[in-house]
Amino acid sequence: MLDIAADLRQWCEQGRDFAVATVVGTDGSAPRQPGAALAVDAEGTAIGSVSGGCVEGAVYELCREALESGESVLERFGFSDEDAFAVGLTCGGVIDILITPVRAGGTGAAHVPTLAAALAAAAAGEPAALARVVGGTAAPLGRALLVRPDGPYEGTLGGSPELDRTAAAEARAMLDAGRTGTLTVGAEAVAAPLGAADAHPAAPEQCGPRAVLLVESSAPPPRMIVFGAIDFAAALVTVGKLLGYHVTVCDARPVFTTRRRFPDADEIVVDWPHRYLDTQRLDGRAVLCVLTHDAKFDVPLLERALRLPVAYVGALGSRRTHLDRLARLRAAGLTEPELARLHSPIGLDLGARTPEETALSIGGEIVASRRGGTGAPLTGAHTPIHHDVRPSTGPVGPIGHRGPLA
């Protein structure tokens, strides 16, 4: 839902009634991931998308029905491979969608102040996570709470105070990682994967009270810091921006570290790399690309970088340079597990020679590292195309099922 926060915030400010449909789980191939949303107001205006067109019409009608009834509902749209081909839908898979009415007067199933605060935070680019009940036995469907990096949570799931505290802590952890997905909270949280068409969730009395939540994180873009103002860095800045990173270029040499040479960078910093890194607070999504190719810069920088909880650390250089660098880092006291985090020589084996080709190979390795890919050709392979797509832990209990739809 936070992917259309700016429009929904405007609707809230205008006092419009609307219903929002949010993808809360998928299984198999699916065009949109959890968090994707479509909203429909009382006049029939629609924004957003939950399926790229496959089930939009049916979801639109469900939103209109939810506006009339004032009740949140959970619907499953399933496609077998055979049925998918018959209706011209080639993705297959299952998507589960939560439809929640939001009424300006506050009489709907959604907690309007909490949703409005979440939409305002997301529209303003502030870090926040919205947790909504999408299943389970411990809280009403559609109830929500909002967490921020610091401070108390807002709203309630409508269960117990302990449930709220646990949910807030789990949601804050997902916010710290910039993740959106489902989780189960409760004293004995056990749930079947959401979206698995043949799933048979355990009965409530076997699992104890629990709530299944969709947590949507709205966070600033992840950081990419490129150390070394060389020609390869200019191409890597372009790739980093294409991948959605906030890109910083850092080098101690002011003659090379200029806006003219790096027009696409978000920040340009003239400082010793290790000294600049010491001033930064980085989360688990950050990537550090060391292109300095000089031991006096590389070693003190990597000594710090490999001990930070970041997603990726890569360093440019030949295999001989890499071996020399490892020896220097061992002498500086780094352990073998710390050294194993280093991607060096940086990038995938594409046979790259130009700065642009090298930047592409580095970007490819960053994506593979983030998504769990191998970097091998898909042709002839029998591995999943989307390595990071797993059945989500999600709603437990009755789910309305909608069959194959065009």
CB 315 within 8 A of CB 228: no
Coil, helix or strand at residue 100: strand
- DSSP summary character for residue 371: H
Predicted confidence at residue 385, as pLDDT, reads: 66
With residue 81 as reference, give the H or E element that holds it: helix 81-86
204: closest CA among 221, 220, 177, 184? 184
How distant is the alpha carbon of residue 155 from its chain centre? 23
CA atoms within 13 A on the CB side of 171: 32
Give the pairing type, strands 128-136 and 93-102.
unpaired
What are the residues facing 217 on neighbouring strands? 129
Q: How far is CA 66 from the centre of its chain?
A: 28
Question: How long is the chain?
Answer: 406
Residue type, 184: T
Residue 344, token pair as written in the block: 């060096």
The span from the CA of 74 to the CA of 98, in Å, is 5
Strand, helix or coil at 334?
coil
pLDDT at residue 107, as a whole number:
46
Contact 157, 145 (CB under 8 A): yes
Question: Distance between CA 292 and CA 321 in Å, rounded?
Answer: 12
Within a 13 Å sphere around the CA of 388, how many CA atoms are in the beta-carbon half?
Answer: 12
Tens-digit pLDDT string for the chain (406 aa)? 888 888 998 898 888 899 999 988 887 666 677 888 899 999 999 998 887 666 888 899 999 999 999 888 898 887 554 554 443 344 567 788 999 998 765 544 456 788 888 888 888 888 899 999 988 888 888 889 999 987 889 999 887 888 999 999 999 888 877 788 888 987 544 343 443 333 333 344 444 578 899 999 988 888 999 999 998 999 999 999 999 899 999 999 999 999 999 999 999 999 999 999 999 999 888 999 999 988 889 999 999 999 999 999 999 999 999 999 999 999 999 999 999 999 999 999 999 999 999 999 999 999 999 888 888 888 887 776 666 544 443 333 444 544 433 3
pLDDT of residue 105: 57
How many CB atoms are located within 10 Å of the residue 102 CB?
A: 27
Which pTM does this prediction carry?
A: 0.61
Matching CATH number, 223-368, of 3.40.50.720, 3.90.550.10, 3.10.20.600, 3.30.70.580: 3.40.50.720
Q: Quick one: pLDDT at residue 208?
A: 58
pLDDT at 82: 52
H-type alpha helices, 134-203: 161-177
Half-sphere exposure of 382 (CA within 13 A, CB side): 0
In the chain, which residues fall in CATH 3.40.50.720? Answer: 223-368
3-state DSSP call for residue 202? coil
SS3 325: helix
Residue 217 tokens read as 């994180």
pLDDT of the residue at 370 = 85
